[in-house]
Structure 1
């Protein structure tokens, strides 16, 4: 089983928490880079949310 499959299996039923974690990590990375790469970070956050099923609040950032 691939690593992503294991992560998805572990997060099943906890998509909201995964989404919050992705947001928190992205915001921390954005703060560390002083907003220099905010577009790329936002794109990565969206891709991770799509991958983990945590995109139910996509428009609320």
Structure 2
């Protein structure tokens, strides 16, 4: 599972860059599918109670590269 602040931007990124397909599950879930692999996306503060012990900012930059 990947957690993102902007679900639509994350979906757009994975479609454009990796060519994944988006499916809909239970109306609110939008897993990404690439071959036999599936990546679940979750909005920050919604859904899963699973929390990483070490948070690392994701691949969608919020500003210029450092």
- In the superposition, the TM-score normalised over structure 1's length comes to 0.32
**Structure with the largest fraction of helix:** 1
Query: Larger strand proportion, structure 1 or 2?
Result: 2
